[in-house]
Copies of this chain bind each other. A is one copy, B any other.
Amino acid sequence: MADFRPAPELDVTEWLNTPEPLSLSALRGRVVVAEAFQMLCPGCAQMALPQLARVHEQFSRMGVAVLGLHTVFEHHEAQGPRSALEAFLREYRYSFPVGIDRPAPEGRGMPVTMAAYRMEGTPTLILIDRHGRLRRQAFGHVPDLQLGAEIMALIAERDAA
């Protein structure tokens, strides 16, 4: 499986819902499920984030790291403030860690991590294996049945290795 490229490191300015900042290098050895989202993106609020909460609920106890990545690439003044994101997470009772993607140097457009992954938009699901390799990147909705299987396939690689 040498054909999977390393997942680009997360370039995050602030972390919410976690006492310590996270990084992919520190998570090496664990399967990582990340969801890039914007709080005002309907597909994120209605589908992807409720699904991420289910993933967090089910797979955290199996050692999987589950996290959100707030990748604001439109409506910056509305979605940009940390206070807005905090209010959003509290209202929806999301308890997984969320990192705020570093804004582009020019202050507009796609933030740094989102650009490094060449994402097409939000929501984008990302699966990273125990070796830090990017195994799956999906723009839009992935059904629960399929997502459960994909995560478990990565978990099972430990025993096979």
A interface residues with partner B (beta carbon < 8 Å): 39-42, 45-46, 51, 54-55, 58-59, 74-75, 77-79, 81, 83-84, 86-88, 91-92, 143-153, 155-157, 159-160
Contacts and interface: CB of A to CB of B under 8 A. Distances in A.
Contact of A42 (B51, B54, B92, B149): B92
Q: How many copies does the complex hold?
A: 4
Contacts of A42: 91-92
A84 B88 contact: no
Interface-centre pick from A74, A78, A88 (highest chain B CB count, 10 A) = A78
Nearest to A151: B149
Given A159-B160, A160-B156, A146 B88 contact: no
Contacts of A92: 42
Contact of A88 (B74, B78, B144): B78
